[in-house]
């Protein structure tokens, strides 16, 4: 169902859009906090804009037009973490409270590129590097208590790796080597803490719920759901959209959110878990 609509335009409560090569470019990247706020990366206006659960405009945070990478994510306490890389200025992070006030920030001039890794304890790790030295990667994590980006001495996290704990047992999910790069061709293998193979899933893991249900992406608008033993539970078709399903997000209950748009504006769509 549709939650709300946001028009395109020049007013502060409207989103920006543009045409390039006869293609409509609209905001896709967004995140949701636990209080029901939606943070949308309005790249054409170079800002992160927040809307309420009813679609009411609340505030916006501007960032430099020359930013190469932009990432905005609320933490468990309602603060927003904003990460920006700029090829000329380096890497910036800032923490903003619910009123949009800057609580803490930092600049790392020696880095101008970042990658992200969210572990299964919901801790966000930031992998910083320089474009001229891409193999020299330094690992940090976002500490919600001190609002600091702290250096880690641990090894780099393996790509596409997930670890889950359920009923005092550990489960591990890793890509099956040699499979294709497309989501629908990827296979993921589940093993237990005794390295016993429990099953194989189709698609690339995009979300794991707290009870241990695993969502994989198997196409532009198709998801599969598996349990911890690799047993297929359900197929989800995100139908009725005007474009491919980019920027899909989930909440803790397994409900699915997505931004969809046309020439007039955008709408926030919800698929409820029943």
pLDDT for res 125: 87
pLDDT in tens, 179-191: 666 777 889 999 9
d(CA 203, CA 223): 8
pLDDT for res 273: 83
Is the CB of residue 126 less than 8 Å from the CB of residue 142? Answer: yes
Q: pTM for this structure?
A: 0.88
DSSP states of 85-145: EETTTEEEEEEE-TT--EEEEEEETT--EEEEEE-TTSPEEEEEEETTEEEEEEEEEEETT
pLDDT for res 120: 65
pLDDT for res 63: 93
Place of tokens 């919901």: 122
The separation between CA 38 and the C-alpha centre of its own chain, rounded to angstroms, equals 13
Q: Which residues of the chain have pLDDT under 50?
A: none
pLDDT for res 178: 75
Burial (CB count <10 Å: 0-12, 13-18, 19+), residue 13:
middle
pLDDT in tens, 15-53: 998 888 877 788 889 999 888 899 999 999 999 999 999
Burial (CB count <10 Å: 0-12, 13-18, 19+), residue 1:
exposed
The pair of three-digit structure tokens given for residue 167, joined into one six-digit string: 């009923």
d(CA 37, CA 96): 14
pLDDT for res 142: 86
pLDDT for res 101: 95
d(CA 25, CA 45): 12
């Amino acid at each position: 169902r549709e939650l709300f609509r946001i028009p395109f335009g020049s007013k502060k409560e409207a989103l920006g859009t543009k045409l390039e090569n006869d293609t409509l470019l609209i905001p896709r990247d967004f995140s949701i906090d636990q209080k029901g706020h939606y943070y949308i990366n309005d790249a054409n206006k170079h800002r992160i804009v927040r809307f309420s659960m009813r679609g009411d405009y609340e505030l916006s945070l501007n960032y430099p037009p020359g930013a190469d990478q932009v990432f905005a994510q609320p933490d468990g306490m309602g603060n927003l973490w904003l990460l920006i890389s700029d090829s000329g200025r380096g890497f910036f992070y800032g923490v903003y409270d619910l009123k949009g006030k800057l609580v803490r920030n930092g600049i790392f001039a020696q880095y101008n590129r970042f990658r992200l890794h969210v572990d299964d304890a919901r801790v966000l790790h930031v992998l910083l590097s320089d474009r001229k030295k891409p193999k020299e990667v330094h690992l940090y994590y976002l500490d919600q208590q001190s609002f600091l980006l702290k250096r880690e001495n641990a090894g780099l996290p393996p790509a596409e790796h997930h670890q889950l704990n359920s009923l005092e047992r550990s489960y591990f999910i890793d890509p099956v080597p040699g499979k294709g790069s497309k989501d629908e061709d990827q296979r993921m293998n589940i093993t237990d803490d005794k390295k016993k193979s429990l099953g194989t899933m189709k698609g690339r893991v995009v979300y794991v719920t707290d009870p241990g249900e695993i969502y994989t992406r198997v196409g532009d608008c198709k998801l599969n759901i598996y349990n911890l033993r690799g047993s297929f539970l359900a197929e989800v078709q995100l139908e009725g959209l005007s474009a491919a399903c980019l920027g899909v997000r989930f909440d803790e209950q397994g409900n699915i959110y997505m931004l969809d748009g046309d020439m007039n504006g955008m709408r926030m769509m919800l698929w409820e878990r029943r």
